[in-house]
Structure 1
Amino acid sequence: MEVISKEIIKPSCETPLHLRNLKLSYLDQLLPPIYIPFVFFYEADESRGLTCSNHVQICQELKNSLSKSLTSFYPLAGRIRDNFVIDCNDNGVEFVNARIHAHLTDVLKSESDPECLKQYIPLDPSAIDNPCEGALFAVQVTFFDCGGIAIGVCFSHRIADCTSIMAFVEAWAATTTGKTEVSQFSFDLANYFPPRDFSGFDPCRVRKSNDKITMRRFVFDKEKLAALRKAAISPSATTVKNPSRVELVSAFIWKHFIELSKHNGAKKNFAASHVVNLRTRTSPPQILGNVFGNSVMSVSAISESVQEYYELVRKLRRSIRTITEDYITESQSGDRYVNDLFNVVSSLMKGELEGCSFSSWSKLPFYEVDYGFGKPVWLGTTALPLRNIIILVNTRCGEGIEAWVNMKQDNLEMLEVQFKLISH
């Protein structure tokens, strides 16, 4: 990998003074100050002008469109101040131009190894400290010898969820291809969930580990999902009607996470937490539908012991459905969500509870992002610095689910044994 240049890209138009200070919502404040990474891979296509000879032109176009897009998404070019405010000072985002002397096919052959993907992102997300001097968004464009391109993105989870960042990425791609109509987002999440004083609260603490955390990718294809769907049918109790792919995969990993913990002698309850998008759970949905930021809540299902798979599917669905419009309203004006979250955190800190946390990206249009050289042939992510975090993404064909699992190495190896047995 050869880094050709690094520079800061600023919005093409200066942010007005009255928009300078943007309050974080308390939902933003509760998220860990880590970077979330993902990488798009694009094949060479000479008919679209994507060749190994026009790197400079492609890079310049991407930088110009990035600058224009930042004008509408101006908080991304700012800096966080005192965990309460984004100073929208137009300090800019980091842009890395790189070249790797390899072929894209080499990456696709080793796609099961997330470690190799770290070189395609602009910073190391396994480091909690900010290596970008406060930049909230960073991108690396890497050119392959074959003409292929990787576009790696990292963003601060403190200011946005993946839905928000994908809206920005789509706007950036649309601007690159000359489109002028892009989705408009508002930046008033703090009006719904005003900031609070969480002094002394470290959102990373419950997920930090002294053990080495690694990531492994598990692909649940159509056949494996069909086997899980069959296993989710209860012989006696009520069966969950039409379990989603996310519910099936989450319950499978949760079940074996419990069994792994019991195997290691743990005597505690076990939680599966799911990040729930609030944007579709209000009536009308437009209330939070186009709000930029962390418009999400984490909800936990609890199991006291190893249970049947179908029971865990049912518990997951029941817990996710507790995030209703009434729950959201009570959390805006009161402490319902904060109390529920802190009760789980307290149990984790006391050692009474062990948990794994799921974040589903399965409804996000990753494979539709086109910068003018076609749609991506693959999307990947890489290891996070926190243990027992699972990210769920659609496969390219849309029929399967890829689970990117952050755990201790020995736990991953035991999980892989069970994964291979699904269809047998």
Structure 2
Amino acid sequence: MPLVFFYPKNQVNAIPNGPKTISNVLSNSLSKILSYYYPWAGTLKDNATIECDDQGAEFLEVQINSSMDKVVNHPDSNVKDLTFPQGLPWANGVDRALIVAQLSHFDCGGIALSVCLSHKIGDGSSAHCFLRDWAALTRNSNTNPSPYFVEDSIVPSPIGPLVSPVIGSDTDKCVQKRFVFSSTKLSALKSSIGVQNVTSNEAANALIYKCAASSGTVVNSGSFKRSQLVQFLDIREITSPQLPPNSIGNLISIISSPIYEDKEELKLPNLVTDIKKSKNYLSARDNNVEENEFAIEMLDAYRSGEVTFYKRKCDHYFSSSVCKFPFSQDLDFGFGKPIRSSIAKGPINKFIHLMRTYDGGIEAFVNLNEQEMSVFEHDDQLLEFATPINEDFCNKEEQ
């Protein structure tokens, strides 16, 4: 799970001997927070088990010969990903520490702090807990974090070594483009759909999926490709009994839309209604642990040797959102809150990541193959509500 946070020059300079002090403070507090989040300081064995042996984390420092603005706003995601340890984002990470942090210094004086956390130990909510507590401990050494490690008590792990990842990264087969939905545009989008109580996540997911699936049809010479939207959801609040928000683990499931057979089905009111039905069904189920659709799908793929979701015989567009986690608000390490947060390119083609912007909007990271992206990024309906991050976007921010 590769996340990165950007802090401008004025915040760095507010600290005496800023760059050096920040480096020392962060590396010291990282070692302290790992005593609470000890599995992330361990070693991965057989790709399936964490040996809590206090192996520790990696803390790297690099100099990037560019200004921060040019990197964070660059339309090419590979440039933005210079802020991550090379080759590590979304990798299986069997030969690296389970947490690798990188402090990047820019020519302008700003910094970026990136963290790659092993997904074997926890999900996006777990990552938020760790980063929030690390920031709090850095600000105040008397802080006592209290993570609750669920381990195998809720979702049992498969027995025996896992020979290879069930979901392998194929980022070399796709490009990533980023689009920003301002809070104003999100409100307009929700109003245009005509369904009651549409959330920002539902509206953004429906529009992106519609435009992405439509681009696939164009590339396929106008022949509609059967597809569905698969979304990852946190199940902490819908287990019985509820799990506390500080629960650490992969406590997620999925909801799937119907498999759409015709382009006429890809209308926003229909898509949003289907998303709501799937969410309500998940919330109403008696047992979201034993009936966890994602865990069942993953274990079936591992046992059968088939690609995950292969049996559905259609294209899958996956969406994962961390919008409910206030990363920007919570990640003050003592030199102010980040002005921007981001995520690395990946992990697979036809994948959508949604992340909240500091001003209440949503930034979408969309992975598609090159042909489909060339159609998607020019979709009129998409561009009515979303602004692509390109040279024009950079110029507007500078003004």
TM interval, short-chain normalised: 0.7 to 0.9
2:149 and 2:249 in contact (8 A); partners too: yes
**CA distance in structure 2 between the partners assigned to 1:385 and 1:119 by the alignment:** 16
User: Which residue matches 1:128?
Assistant: 91
Partner of residue 331, structure 1: 289
Please say if residues 174 and 371 of structure 1, whose CA atoms lie closer than 8 Å, have aligned partners that are also in contact: yes
Question: Where in structure 2 are the equivalents of 1:209-228 lying within 5 Å?
Answer: 212-228=173-189
Residue equivalent to 1:243: 198
TM-score, normalised with respect to structure 1? 0.79
Aligned partner of 2:25 in structure 1 is 61
Q: State whether residues 384 and 406 of structure 1, in contact with CA within 8 Å, keep that contact through their aligned partners in structure 2.
A: yes
CA distance in structure 2 between the aligned counterparts of 1:374 and 1:337, rounded to whole angstroms: 38
Correspondence for 1:322 among 253, 257, 281: 281
Q: Map 1:13-412; keep pairs closer than 5 Å.
A: 36-45=1-10, 49-50=14-15, 53-108=17-72, 110-125=73-88, 128-130=91-93, 133-197=95-159, 202-204=165-167, 208=170, 212-233=173-194, 239=195, 241-265=196-220, 268-282=225-239, 284-285=241-242, 287-302=243-258, 303-306=260-263, 307=265, 308-324=267-283, 326-327=285-286, 329=287, 331-332=289-290, 338-339=295-296, 348-350=309-311, 352-368=313-329, 369-398=331-360, 400-412=361-373
Q: Is the 8 A contact 1:70 1:77 kept in 2?
A: yes
Give the CA deviation at 1:388: 1.0
Structure 1: which amino acid aligns with 2:213? Answer: I
SS in 2 for 1:331: coil
Shift of 1:358: 0.6
| Counterpart amino acid of residue 276 in structure 1 | L
Q: Residue 415 in 1 paired to residue 373 in 2?
A: no
1:76-134 CA-partner distances (Å, limit 9, x unpaired): 011122243210111111110112233323334x344322111111232467353x723
CA contact (8 A) 1:189 1:295 kept: no
1:351 to 1:299, Cα distance in 2 relative to 1, 3 A = closer
Cα distance, 1:395–1:148 mapped onto 2, change above 3 Å: same
Q: Deviations over 1:378-407 (max 9, x none)?
A: 112221141111110111101x11110111
Partners of 1:173 and 1:371 within 8 A in 2: yes
Does the CA-based 8 Å contact 1:348-1:354 persist in structure 2? no
- On the 8 A contact 2:2/2:90 being kept in 1, the answer is no
With structure 2 as the length reference, what TM-score do the two structures score?
0.84
SS where residue 317 of structure 1 aligns? Answer: helix
Indicate conservation of the 8 Å contact 1:118/1:124, yes or no: no
Aligned length: 373
- Pairwise CA RMSD of aligned residues? 2.8
Q: Partner residue of 1:10? A: none
Task: Please list every run of 5 or more consecutive structure 2 residues that lacks an aligned counterpart in the other structure.
Answer: 387-399
AA at the equivalent of 1:420: L
Give secondary structure in 2 for the equivalent of 1:193.
coil
**Deviations 1:41-81, CA, capped at 9 Å, x for gaps:** 00123696436x44332211111110000000000011122
Letter in 1 for 2:197: N
